[in-house]
Structure 1
Amino acid sequence: MRKIRVLVTDDSAFMRKVISDILQADPEIEVIDRARNGLECLEKARQLNPDVITLDIEMPVMNGLEALEQVMKHQPVPVVMLSSLTREGADATIRALELGAFDFVTKPSGPISLDIHKVGDRLVERVKAASLAQKAIKRASTTEPRTVLPPSAAVKAAAPPAMTSPPNLEAVPRKSGVNTGKLVVLGTSTGGPKALQTVLTALPADLPAPIAIVQHMPAGFTKSLAQRLDSLCAIRVTEVTDGEWLEAGTAYIAPGGYHFEVQQVNGRLQARLHQQEPRGGHRPSVDVLFESVSRLTKVDKWAIIMTGMGNDGTKGLKKMKDAGIVTSIVEDESTCVVYGMPRTAIQAGLADHVVPLNAIADTLCKLLH
């Protein structure tokens, strides 16, 4: 069996060796070379045509974001980013995912992590998954996220790079209010940040329902994701807080490390966060969110499942279906970075509408109205 050919890029000689050793310990992976910076990565990628590239963000000569942009433009290859846990690292990671990175792994203790072995299993898993997504990565690199915005949001269409703070949006009025008895729930994982941008930026400010979202992502990164999306969207996008009332025209993203449930209090919808055991290895879990929504009464419900590994969301959607009327939208295989979560939902017979990514927003808006 042909091994997965990986190019490892990091400015630290120690990190290059340790990352290479972790990957090569797996019999399915071969590290074909190492690069010290983004420029060297580009040169070696052209020469060696790797299956997957691991790319550090903070490097001299050419940093990881600059190198990633060039890779996606000229030689689309699945890229797994190595990120720090700092706020700056989270912002840069969100930008990397927006540029087309397959996924990321966090260094446990900074640029030179002596304990990088703690995330060794995740790194190997991400590299293997990335190697299966080459066609999707190449397709996504030629398709920019859809940003068809209503006139009220036009001023936000020219948003700044993700590395800067979100702009002051007080001058851009947004319509929101108490929930009108409608709720949209959405689950996604690998490939989700870019997919969320495509969907959420195409929604109007006066969307007549709140959107509760689970995106598989570690603590510290979901806030940066929410702020980035908020700077681009006509609807409001925020990382949800415990006890927050859900309002129409707002998307609420579960914080990393917390399950997100929706409950009814005096007829209103309220967020409940908790840190019970991970479900299927995930916290937040799409199943946990969907199952909580299955218990809501007198609420019209729509459920969306998009790109992601595994089967999170299928059991929860089944409970929603069993409990009452819910309309589901599932992303078509043709646009998924990873066709895992959508596939299991479709195979279970739970998909009412199977549509490509750029049609999800239009489909939802038609169903809501």
Structure 2
Amino acid sequence: MANVKVLVVDDSAAMRALFCDILDNAKGVSVCGTAKNADEAREQLDKLKPDVLTLDVEMPGMSGMEFLDEVMTTRPMPVIMLSSITQAGTGTARRALELGAVHCFPKPLHTSREEFDATVRQLGDIVIKAAAGELKPGGDSDGAGEGGARYRSDGRIVALACGAAGIESARQVLAAYDAACPPTIVVFDADADAVENAMRAMRHSLPCQLGDAVDGVSLEPGKVWLAHDATRHVVVEPGEPPRLRLIERDPVNGCRPSADLLFGSLARSGLPALGGLLTGSGTDGVRGLGILAETKGKVFVQRPADYAPRDRYDAVRANGLELADLRQEAIPDWILEQTNAVGQG
């Protein structure tokens, strides 16, 4: 029996090489070609006629999700999505399955010999099943299709403060969101270009609405607003529905937009809220998080990795705040659990 031919599409040369190595080591599988973007992939599909396509979610130009949609419309075939943000059960994974992917496979974070061998066996088996038609478009990926039915926002507003070192944590939270996600504001103390580079592909891959903070926008389930304009602060204005307001004011704690102002406005609004400090330098947000906790808001702080700045974390712990102390991998599930109306009495 001939090997299953796979076309590997990823904008990262290192990831293309890694997955070529993984797939070429899998029994019954061979890589027939690679592409770094949608344009190259389109040409390779016509030329090589692969049996299976592996596709990165985040690529420059046309995103992986957009190209997946095109492939399913113009020449349907088994597509396996590969990304650090397509873990089973995430909103991104569910969106990929809805568009027609047969499976979502996480990029390996470590490449020890044992992990490499395990990935070879697992991904190789998935590719063979996909080529044989055993994995159907939109099929379940280890439970990835089940999450939407188990979550309904209770209306609680989520406000996250993120430094440059916490951008990946913010991405992981948003990747877990589906179309019914809690109303969310993410305020960044980071270079605007770095934020945009990190979030660009997610604008096309998430099932929820993801946009830049604009004065007067409503805070409703299914909407996420990113605040990274260094000329204005963001605050919450109560009402039906609550709205986001952008205000001109001097920096607070050296930051604009300021997490302290955002958290403080949420506390004053009396609205149900959840606030969190992701990893970052400085102490902006620590005081505001304490005020939010005093008004019965649900609050957490990210426990920093060994290499990450500890300023915010140490300041929170020094203040003795009672809050959830979470590692990066635990944050998305905790937020969704705390804001889920399903099962609440």
* TM-score bucket of the superposed structures, by smaller chain: 0.5 to 0.7
> Which deviates further from its counterpart, 337-346 or 303-312?
337-346
* Superposed displacement of residue 226, structure 1: 4.2
Counterpart in the other structure of 2:282:
310
Distance verdict in 2 for CA 1:331–1:294, change over 3 Å: same
Per-residue CA distance 1:41-94 (angstroms, 9 max, x = gap): xxxxxxxxxxxxxxxxxxxxxxxx979x99xxxxxxxxxxxxxxxxxxxxxxx9
* Superposed displacement of residue 351, structure 1: 4.3
The unaligned stretches of length 5 or more in structure 2 are 1-11, 18-57, 61-82, 105-147, 341-345
- 2:180 pairs, out of 202, 206, 212, with 206
Distance verdict in 2 for CA 1:264–1:226, change over 3 Å: farther
Distance verdict in 2 for CA 1:264–1:194, change over 3 Å: same
Q: Distance in 1 between matches of 2:170 and 2:87?
A: 11
Identity %: 22
- 1:271 pairs, out of 236, 244, 250, with 244
Q: Is the 8 A contact 1:223 1:239 kept in 2?
A: no
Counterpart code for 2:233: H
Q: Distance in 2 between matches of 1:239 and 1:251?
A: 8
* Superposed displacement of residue 197, structure 1: 1.2
TM-score normalised according to structure 1 size:
0.51
Counterpart code for 2:175: T
1:325 equivalent in alignment to 2:325: no
- 1:154 pairs, out of 91, 96, 103, with 96
Q: Is the 8 A contact 2:292 2:299 kept in 1?
A: no
Counterpart in the other structure of 1:217:
190
Q: Is the 8 A contact 1:345 1:351 kept in 2?
A: no
Q: Is the 8 A contact 1:313 1:345 kept in 2?
A: no
For the residue of structure 2 that corresponds to 1:315, the secondary structure is: helix
Q: Distance in 2 between matches of 1:285 and 1:66?
A: 38
Counterpart in the other structure of 1:262:
236
Counterpart code for 2:289: L
Q: Distance in 2 between matches of 1:316 and 1:256?
A: 20
For the residue of structure 2 that corresponds to 1:333, the secondary structure is: coil
Counterpart in the other structure of 1:340:
311
Q: Is the 8 A contact 2:275 2:289 kept in 1?
A: yes
Q: Distance in 1 between matches of 2:193 and 2:254?
A: 18
* Superposed displacement of residue 348, structure 1: 1.4
Q: Is the 8 A contact 1:222 1:253 kept in 2?
A: no
- 1:356 pairs, out of 310, 314, 327, with 327
Distance verdict in 2 for CA 1:95–1:154, change over 3 Å: closer
Per-residue CA distance 1:267-311 (angstroms, 9 max, x = gap): 3210111221011111111111111111112x2111111110111
Counterpart code for 2:213: V
* Superposed displacement of residue 210, structure 1: 0.4
Q: Which has the larger radius of gyration?
A: 2
- 1:192 pairs, out of 166, 177, 180, with 166
Q: Is the 8 A contact 1:201 1:234 kept in 2?
A: no
Per-residue CA distance 1:165-218 (angstroms, 9 max, x = gap): xxxxxxxxx99xxx96421110010212222112210223222x2011111134
Distance verdict in 2 for CA 1:334–1:192, change over 3 Å: closer
Q: Is the 8 A contact 2:155 2:339 kept in 1?
A: no
1:234 equivalent in alignment to 2:207: yes
The unaligned stretches of length 5 or more in structure 1 are 1-64, 71-93, 97-142, 159-173
Q: Distance in 1 between matches of 2:278 and 2:185?
A: 14
Q: Is the 8 A contact 1:222 1:256 kept in 2?
A: no
TM-score normalised according to structure 2 size:
0.54
Q: Is the 8 A contact 2:155 2:220 kept in 1?
A: no
Counterpart in the other structure of 2:217:
244
For the residue of structure 1 that corresponds to 2:169, the secondary structure is: helix
Q: Distance in 1 between matches of 2:334 and 2:246?
A: 29
Per-residue CA distance 1:79-132 (angstroms, 9 max, x = gap): xxxxxxxxxxxxxxx999xxxxxxxxxxxxxxxxxxxxxxxxxxxxxxxxxxxx
Q: Distance in 2 between matches of 1:189 and 1:66?
A: 28
Root-mean-square deviation (Å): 3.4
Counterpart in the other structure of 1:81:
none
Q: Distance in 2 between matches of 1:354 and 1:279?
A: 25
Q: Is the 8 A contact 1:305 1:341 kept in 2?
A: yes
Counterpart in the other structure of 1:281:
254
Distance verdict in 2 for CA 1:318–1:228, change over 3 Å: same
